[in-house]
Amino acid sequence: MIPLRDEQETTSCAVATRSIIFITSLVFVWQMIIGINDQAVSYTFGFVPAKYTVAQMAAYFSWLNKLLSPFTYMFLHGGFWHFIGNMWFLYIFGDNIEQELGPFRFSAFYLVCGLLAAFFHFLLNHSSAVPTIGASGAIAGVMGAYFLLHPKNKILTLVPVLIFPLFVSIPAFVFLGIWFFIQFINATGQGAGAGVAWWAHIGGFLSGMALIYLNSKLPKAGFSEKFDRFTVKKRSPKLHVLTPETDPSGGSDLYGTIALTSLEALTGTKKLVSVPWGFKNSVYRVVVPAGIRRGSLLRLKGMGKSIPGLPRGDLLLRVDIKNAI
What lies within 8 Å, CB to CB, of 111 at 6+ separation is 71, 74, 138
Sign of the dihedral defined by the CA atoms of residues 75, 80, 84, 86, in that order: negative
Residues 165 and 260 in one domain: no
Structural contact between residues 175 and 3, judged by C-beta atoms closer than 8 angstroms = yes
Q: What is the pLDDT of residue 280?
A: 54
User: What is the C-alpha to C-alpha distance for residues 88 and 98, in angstroms, rounded to an integer?
Assistant: 15
Residues 99 and 11 in one domain: yes
Q: What is the pLDDT of residue 279?
A: 46
pTM score, two decimals? 0.78
Structural domain of 15:
2-228
Q: What is the pLDDT of residue 215?
A: 92
Q: What is the pLDDT of residue 324?
A: 54
Listed residues 173, 197, 228: the one ending a domain: 228
Listed residues 209, 228, 247: the one ending a domain: 228
Q: What is the pLDDT of residue 19?
A: 96
> Radius of gyration over alpha carbons of the chain, in Å?
23
User: What is the C-alpha to C-alpha distance for residues 166 and 157, in angstroms, rounded to an integer?
Assistant: 8
User: What is the C-alpha to C-alpha distance for residues 6 and 237, in angstroms, rounded to an integer?
Assistant: 10
Residue 233 covered by a domain: no
Which residues of the chain fall short of a pLDDT of 50?
279
CATH number reported for the structural domain that contains residue 29 in this entry? 1.20.1540.10
pLDDT digits (tens, 9 = 90+) for 153-170: 989 888 877 777 777 888
Burial profile 58-94: b = 16 or more Cβ within 10 angstroms, e = fewer? eeebeeeeeeebbbbbbbbbbeeebbebbbebbbbbb
Residue 49 covered by a domain: yes
Total structural domains within the chain = 2
Residues 144 and 267 in one domain: no
List, in sequence order, every beta strand (DSSP E) within 208-263: 239-241, 245-246, 254-261
Residues 188 and 277 in one domain: no
Residue 310 covered by a domain: yes
CATH number reported for the structural domain that contains residue 255 in this entry? 2.60.260.20
Cross-strand bridge partners of residue 297: 318
Residues 220 and 243 in one domain: no
DSSP-assigned letters across all residues of 101-114:
H-HHHHHHHHHHHH
pLDDT digits (tens, 9 = 90+) for 69-90: 999 999 999 999 999 999 999 9
Residues 261 and 190 in one domain: no
Residues 12 and 45 in one domain: yes
